[in-house]
Amino acid sequence: MEPRRPHAVWSLAVNAAYAGAAAVGWPYYAWLLATRKKYRTHLGERWGRVPRLPSKGQRLWVHAISVGEVEAARTFVPALREAYPQAEVVFSTTTLTGRERARERFPDLRVFHFPLDFWPCVVSALNRVNPTAVIQVESEWWPTFFFAAARRRIPVVCVNVRLTENGARGYRRIRPIMRRVFNACAAIGVQADLYRDRLVDLGAEPGRIRVTGQMKHDGVTFADDVPGAEALAREVGLVPGDRVLVAGSTGPGEEATLLEAYRRVRREHPNVRLVLVPRRPESFEGAGQAIRGAGLAVLRRSEHAAGSNPPKAPVPGGEPPVILGDTMGELMAWYALADAVFVGRSLVPIGGSNPMEPGSLAKPMVWGPEMFNFPVEAPALVAAGAAREVTGADDLAAALSDLLTDPAKGRQMGQAARDTIRGMQGATERTIALVREALGKGA
C-alpha cells in the first residue's frame, strides 16, 4: 500500500510539543551532556549531522535501536544486499552499544547515529543520507521522521516488529497521532498475530501489516558442542560424573528459589552441581551474596580463568560450592555443559531470557511463569514437550529431579526444542519478500 502522507498540522503539533518539552527540560539535558559521556558522543549525528553521502544511486537506510535489534538484523542485512545488489546499504542505531555491535556485525557498512526526532535534525539527516527507502528493525515509532519521509515519498518499512501490551497501552493515550504514524509506513512486518492485532486496534490499516515471524530465529545454529566448553569445565573443577544444572541469564530476586530447589534436588542426586549465570554484570555481586546468605559456598568463574590453579575438589559427602558465572560471553559454553537448563528472568516479572540458545543445543528447559517477552516461542516449546513451566521451588525441584532421573526424557525434550525452533525459521526470507513488495520496482 502507498504510505499515507499526514497533514502538516500533525508535524507542527508534534514538534510544538517537543519544543515545549525542551523549553522546560533543557537544564536537565545540559546536565546530562556535561556529566555523561554517552550523551556527548556523536552529538552532531544525533542532531542530524550524519555523514553526507552522494545523491546518486539507490541507498537503503537500515535502522536498529540497540544490540538486540542489530542481532535481529544479522541475517537480514546480507539477504537485503543479495536482493538489491546495486544498492548501497547504510546502517544507523540509537545507542552506543548498538553502534559498536553493528560495526562488529557489518564492518563494511557505513554506521552512524539516528537523529533526534526534531524537525531540523530529521530534515538534515534525510538531506545528507538521501535514502531511497528506510527499513527499521523492530519498533521505534518516531512521528517527525516518519511524517517527513512520507512527505518526501521515501518509503519506510518496519520489520520484525513486536508491540508489548504495556507499549500498546501507552500508545492508546495518543492514538490519533499513532494511527497516522503507523499508516505513514509503506508496510509493517510483525513477529506474530498478537502484534498485528494490537497495531490494528491502534488504528493501523490491516493491509499494511504482514506476519513474517522473528528474524532472530534464522540466526540460530544447531550444535552438540561449543568451543571452550571442555576447558571451562576443567577450570571450574567439574569432573566426569557431575550432573550439571545451569540457571542462565537470571534476574535479581530469583536466587532464593533456585537455591532452595537445588538443595532439594541434591537430596536425591548428590552429584549435582549448580551453575548460576546472572544476565547482567551489575548482578554478579548480589548473586554471590545470595548464595553465601543461603549458607552455600561460592566458586566465582572470574577467579579461575585459563592458566590459574583449578579449584580444590569438594570434600567427599560435603556440599560443593555453587558456581557463579561472573564473566561475559560464556553462556553458550555453560549451556553446553548442562544436563538441564533453567531459563532465567522468568520467576520474576521481567519477561524471560532467550530460550532459543539452550534449545539450539538440545537441552531440556525449565522456566517460570513470566516468559511474556516470548509470547509465541514459550508456549510453542511447552506444547511441543521441549520445556516445562514451573511456579516455585517445589515444582522447580521436582522438574529438575525428574530430568536428572530420566536422561532419555531430557534428550527427547532437547530434540523437540530443535524441531520447534527449525519450524520457526524462515522469517528473513518472508521479510525480504515484504520489502520487495513495499518498495516495488522503483527500488
Q: Exposed, middle or buried, 307 (CB in 10 Å: 0-12/13-18/19+)?
A: exposed
Task: Copy the grid coordinates of residue 370.
Answer: 513470566
Q: Which of 135, 203, 192 is nearest to 163 (CA)?
A: 192
Task: Copy the grid coordinates of residue 241.
Answer: 560424573
Q: Which residue has the cell 554484570?
A: 281
The Cα 270–Cα 174 span in angstroms is 57
The count of other CB atoms within 10 Å of the CB of residue 396 is 25
3-state class of 389 per DSSP?
strand
Length of the chain: 443
Q: Which residue has the cell 538521501?
A: 130
**CB of 300 closer than 8 Å to CB of 275:** no
The Cα 178–Cα 194 span in angstroms is 18
Could you tell me which residues come within 8 angstroms of residue 388 by beta carbon, excluding any fewer than 6 positions away? 365, 366, 367, 382, 399
What is the β-pairing status of strands 298-300 and 340-343? Answer: unpaired
| E strand spans, 371-427 | 387-389
The Cα 99–Cα 112 span in angstroms is 7
3-state class of 311 per DSSP?
coil
Task: Copy the grid coordinates of residue 373.
Answer: 517477552
User: Which listed residue (69, 88, 370, 377) is catalytic?
Assistant: 69
The rounded Cα 377 to chain-centroid distance in angstroms is 13
What is the β-pairing status of strands 209-211 and 88-93? Answer: unpaired
- Read off φ and ψ for residue 285, nearest 5 degrees: -65, -40
Q: Which residue has the cell 527499521?
A: 136
Q: Which of 341, 437, 420, 406 is nearest to 377 (CA)?
A: 420
Q: Which amino acid is at 22?
A: A
The Cα 204–Cα 188 span in angstroms is 9
Q: Which residue has the cell 557505513?
A: 110
The rounded Cα 345 to chain-centroid distance in angstroms is 13
Is 69 labeled as catalytic in the residue annotation? Answer: yes
- Residues serving a catalytic function are 69
